[in-house]
Amino acid sequence: MELQALATRKITAYRTYRELHQQLSGCTSLQQCAQLSGQLLDAYQDNRMIWQELEYYQKHHTILGKHPIFSEFLRRKALNKMSVKELMQRKRQVEGNIWRAKSEMAKGDKPHLDAIRQARLKGYQSELDDINRLLEDE
């Protein structure tokens, strides 16, 4: 299942990379070029990491496991094994983490950390969505 998700994500990352590369030639301001370049590098790095995973699997018939998608699958498996009480405790923790990440970004005192904080916030939000989905199923 992980490899199927990885292959799907590879197609998306490659298409994103191509679209951003085309948009880069038409950017009109330095700010726009910087933003597109950052997104382009992220898409390229994601594409390369996926390619390495798939090539490793093709050669060794086992998963390398360095791509972040594998940690997402492990997190989801751990959440699926939790009881309702544990899910509620984790939900409170994640909501606190989301609040903390948002307040750090709102301060604006360390803008060089905003990309890391944004990625962390996205991960927390994804985990909270998974927890809420599991709690609704109960």
- The pLDDT tens digits for 47-75 are 899 999 999 999 999 888 888 888 888 89
Burial of 92 (0-12, 13-18, 19+ CB in 10 A): exposed
Average pLDDT along the chain: 89
Q: Which amino acid is it at 69?
A: I
pLDDT of 138 higher than 80: no
Categorize the per-residue pLDDT at 125 as very low, low, confident or very high, splitting at 50, 70 and 90: very high
Residue-level pLDDT at 100: 93
Q: Identify which of 93, 121, 92 has the alpha carbon closest to the alpha carbon of residue 105.
A: 121
Categorize the per-residue pLDDT at 121 as very low, low, confident or very high, splitting at 50, 70 and 90: very high
pTM (2 decimals)? Answer: 0.67
